[in-house]
Structure 1
Amino acid sequence: MHPATSPTAGVPAGRNHRTPLSRRRFVRGLAVVALAAPLALGAAGCGDDKGSGDPDAPVTIQFFWWGGEARAKATEEALKLYTSKHPNVTITPTWQAFDGYYDKLATISAGGNAPDIFQIDDNGLGEYAGRKVTLDLTDLVKAGKIDLSKHHPELTKYGQVDGKQIAVASGENTPAMIYDKTRLAALGVDAPQEGWSYQQFVDWAAQVTRKGGGKYWGTMDPSSDYKALWLWLRTQGKEFYNGKQLGFTEADLVSWFKLWQDARTKGATPPADIVHEAVTGSVATQLVVTGKAAISFMWSNQLSELQKATKNDLAMLPYPGDVKGQWPRASLYWAASRTTKHREVVADVINFLVNDPEAAKILGTDRGLPANLDVRKTLEAGITDPSMKATFDFENGLAPKFGAAPPVPPKGHSGLRNKLRDIAESVTYGKATPEAAAKQFFAEASAALA
């Protein structure tokens, strides 16, 4: 799962969700190729702006992101609002679907010509910072050019690499277990509770399966889901990473695999083929949507999309264990190019996108809940969708309980997530023991993180 992962419009932020491209979206997506041309010339269009010391001098900046048509429309509308207030600034927007986005960004940035502002997630932030593609925003934040005073401090911290503010969260979300209230009520089973241990949760899920007569299971098996493993590790005072190395041991991973192996033995989770249906993280295949299990391990801002896909009432709660294992995660970030000619304009645009109430109203929650807590309250006041309101309540309720944010993942994380998924599934299918699977994962992690 994850997403993170990343979303197209209409699909909550933080997921690696792929959708078929319409002809119009395909054509718009191809437009990204054109972005490389001016940037390959040393961003001549940006560098040639006259009167760089004059705040009213013409300025042109490149702006690059991924997403679907709804996200593109909202983003372009927000950018037009900015330029209407700053007529000397021209913003050249370019977008595409998630597939190929990082390939294109890597190609463009290889020549030192990354877009002035670009969208990124925590899968790529550490890598691009390490390659010195991103602009260090620390001084701009300290000078108040980007105001993060109304953002959760741990959300701000989750945009830092080696103590430097490398990116600013465009929105916030956190992992959440989505459960089927309607089906549980029909089975006569009480809803799961916040703060349960994993063992309590597995025992509860096994009870749901028994009540379901063997054709409905208590929970999805999240053993292949990196975020589930990460939060489980944090309940034990450990992290997924320690710098550029794994922050846990092979024995820890064996214990994780055995936890879910035992859950399968108890009947708490479905057979491997049914589990496999949902491992991609697609909303449409989640077991609370397909009616095969009472629990799906997702992200908090996905409740609304999941609710649209089922007639049953859904609700959510934190993952098992100490809630302090969770932290306010940046669903996506805004980052800037180290080679931009217009640092202060770039900072002002980012500041506008994350702090302006009018911009927040236009952008909505596609990239997660607004990072600015005051702006979030303003946006929340106009929410009518009950499941979206529940998302606001959930995220706001967790705010005082959140633990400290970890460092962003290092280079190689994205590929390692996929390796975990594949290796964990080998255990689910009974093709490998927990010990053999853990050994394989650690061997491949050494290469991936090298």
Structure 2
Amino acid sequence: MKKRIALLMAAAMAAASLAGCGGGTSTTADTTAGSAAEDTTAASSGNAGGDTKLTMSWWGNQVRNEKTQAALDLYAEQNPGITIEGQFSEWSDYWNKLATSAAGQAIPDLVQMDYSFIDQYVKNGLLVDLKPYIEDGTLDVSNISENTIASGTVNDGVYAICAGINAPSLLYNKTLLEENGIQIKDYMTTDEFMDVCRQVYEKTGYKTNIAYYNAGAYLDYFMRGYDVVLYGDKKMGGTVNDYLPFFQMYETGIKEGWFIDPGVFAELSIGSVEQEPLVYGSGPETMSWCAFYNSNQLTAIQKAAPEGMEIGITTWPSADPKKSGYLKSSMFFSVGAHTKNPEEAVKVLNFLTNSSEANNILLGERGVPASSVISEELAPKMSDVDQEVIRYINEVVTPNCSPINPPQPDGASEVSNLLNQVQEQLCYGAYDAATAAEEFFNGANNIMNKK
């Protein structure tokens, strides 16, 4: 067990090194440093008078910290004898501290969980199976879609409940494109997307950033369009030839001049919303007309955009965007396996998921609420940008998407890191597309075979 926890800590540190790009998961709006958390303490304990103390940990920014603690305080107010201590930190510190608490058999009662870590935490016996509490009604999921529930399912158990729904989203400079008569439609194929890239470059000089050094999530999405699941059992899905179109897209952009110069990123924090080339740069040569993010990042990108720039939102391109598209939890809530009060912890989780009062405080900060009832209630109270995200989720993605792939297995962070390295070699001209595909596929299989 100690060895497995050590591996988990190593994986946390590897993922943290990719945190600027989310390691294919979270981006800066979800990882902005908040107040540093105190060292994680024992999961739960009874204090004087028989009262129950719970702990809940999450990563996030100051807005999330304040809203979450206010919702937890409301639960405590409505349930005398319960106190809930919030523990929060920025992304990289969060995973290191959570792994340390797991090693000490003191994982918090409630934890914010990421899709890329669920499988590892379940395999290490660190999360409570919520299925019995769903079956007995303690946790109400009647207003949550089956696809959303499936995203927190490992084997036959439900180990995480969606804290907010998002979806892969191409964010773009809507003002620039409209001024130049360039049309953007939902569900663009890869070929249609590249045609837009050419038009934008020819008419405006603006280039295209296709998830440079942050391509793990996009590769997963891209391969779904060819009916290839990225990760198999201790191997990569598909064959080396299946990966060729992905790298050919980059090669084409480099040859035709519309792909952004990778040197632009040398002094940028990759994945930082504020330094995203969509909204940051000195002019067309150093800027991109689009960015590959998730829908819950629209607000942050719009806030970071220069005055007068409206940001649009559409689907990522692929050979078949409806096959590729999926609803994804921006993050999850889970119950830690070391809790002494699992039922009470589940009741808190139910409160955060289904209470109108709680969600009037949270206001969809983690993404569109998983409960359709709650999301409908909140929509009129939210900003125009947030309402646009809800529209995108409900009207564009939900009717035309497929179930998300299983959680990423051990080794996925290393594979993503390899992809970034291969992509860099391709963009700097050291590899052609065929070489890049071969280097990535063989290297990724070597990583997965050792897991």
- The whole-number CA distance in structure 2 between the counterparts of 1:349 and 1:268 is 50
- Corresponding residue SS for 1:241: coil
Task: Write the letter of the residue equivalent to 2:388.
Answer: A
- The whole-number CA distance in structure 2 between the counterparts of 1:360 and 1:242 is 38
- The whole-number CA distance in structure 2 between the counterparts of 1:113 and 1:84 is 26
TM-score, normalised via structure 2 length = 0.86
Query: Cα gap change, 1:378/1:175 in structure 2, threshold over 3 Å: closer, same or farther?
Result: same
Q: Residue in 2 aligned with 1:323? A: 322
- The whole-number CA distance in structure 1 between the counterparts of 2:267 and 2:136 is 49
Q: CA RMSD, aligned part only?
A: 2.3
Q: Residue in 1 aligned with 2:216? A: 226
Note the C-alpha offset of 1:69. Answer: 2.0
- The whole-number CA distance in structure 2 between the counterparts of 1:277 and 1:228 is 23
Query: Percent of counterpart pairs with the same letter?
Result: 27
Q: Residue in 2 aligned with 1:240? A: 230
Query: Cα gap change, 1:274/1:223 in structure 2, threshold over 3 Å: closer, same or farther?
Result: closer
Q: Residue in 1 aligned with 2:148? A: 155
Query: Cα gap change, 1:361/1:418 in structure 2, threshold over 3 Å: closer, same or farther?
Result: farther
Task: Write the letter of the residue equivalent to 2:164.
Answer: G
Matches within 5 A, 1:134-283: 134-188=127-181, 190-212=182-204, 215-217=205-207, 219-222=208-211, 224=213, 225-274=215-264, 280-283=270-273
Note the C-alpha offset of 1:433. Answer: 3.0
Q: Which moved more, 1:136-145 or 1:440-449?
A: 440-449
Q: Residue in 2 aligned with 1:394? A: 392
Note the C-alpha offset of 1:71. Answer: 1.3
- The whole-number CA distance in structure 1 between the counterparts of 2:387 and 2:407 is 29
Q: Deviations over 1:101-126 (max 9, x none)?
A: 11111111113221111111012111
- The whole-number CA distance in structure 2 between the counterparts of 1:309 and 1:187 is 23
Note if contact 2:24-2:416 (Cα within 8 Å) is conserved in structure 1. Answer: no
Task: Write the letter of the residue equivalent to 1:102.
Answer: W
Q: Deviations over 1:327-376 (max 9, x none)?
A: 11000111112232212101101011111111111112221111111100
Note the C-alpha offset of 1:284. Answer: 1.5
Query: Cα gap change, 1:180/1:150 in structure 2, threshold over 3 Å: closer, same or farther?
Result: same
Q: Residue in 2 aligned with 1:2? A: 22
Query: Cα gap change, 1:223/1:257 in structure 2, threshold over 3 Å: closer, same or farther?
Result: farther
1:295 to 265, 290, 294: 290
- The whole-number CA distance in structure 2 between the counterparts of 1:391 and 1:143 is 33
- Asked if 1:124 is matched to 2:123, the reply is no
Query: Cα gap change, 1:341/1:49 in structure 2, threshold over 3 Å: closer, same or farther?
Result: farther
- The whole-number CA distance in structure 1 between the counterparts of 2:231 and 2:48 is 46
- The whole-number CA distance in structure 2 between the counterparts of 1:209 and 1:275 is 19
Q: Which moved more, 1:94-103 or 1:327-336?
A: 94-103
Q: Which moved more, 1:248-257 or 1:149-158?
A: 248-257
- The whole-number CA distance in structure 2 between the counterparts of 1:307 and 1:105 is 32
- The whole-number CA distance in structure 2 between the counterparts of 1:185 and 1:330 is 31
Q: Residue in 2 aligned with 1:82? A: 75
Q: Which moved more, 1:303-312 or 1:156-165?
A: 303-312
Q: Residue in 1 aligned with 2:378? A: 379
Unaligned runs of 5+ in 2: 1-20
Note if contact 1:173-1:331 (Cα within 8 Å) is conserved in structure 2. Answer: yes
- Corresponding residue SS for 1:285: coil
Q: Residue in 2 aligned with 1:54? A: none
Q: Residue in 2 aligned with 1:350? A: 349
- The whole-number CA distance in structure 1 between the counterparts of 2:83 and 2:360 is 22
Q: Which moved more, 1:152-161 or 1:222-231?
A: 222-231
Task: Write the letter of the residue equivalent to 1:110.
Answer: A
Note the C-alpha offset of 1:308. Answer: 1.7
Instruction: Count the aligned residue pairs.
Output: 418
Note if contact 2:368-2:390 (Cα within 8 Å) is conserved in structure 1. Answer: yes
- The whole-number CA distance in structure 2 between the counterparts of 1:257 and 1:238 is 16
Note if contact 2:212-2:262 (Cα within 8 Å) is conserved in structure 1. Answer: no
Note the C-alpha offset of 1:244. Answer: 4.5
- The whole-number CA distance in structure 2 between the counterparts of 1:278 and 1:220 is 13
Unaligned runs of 5+ in 1: 52-56
Task: Write the letter of the residue equivalent to 1:315.
Answer: G
Task: Write the letter of the residue equivalent to 1:298.
Answer: Y
- The whole-number CA distance in structure 1 between the counterparts of 2:52 and 2:70 is 19
Q: Residue in 2 aligned with 1:312? A: 309
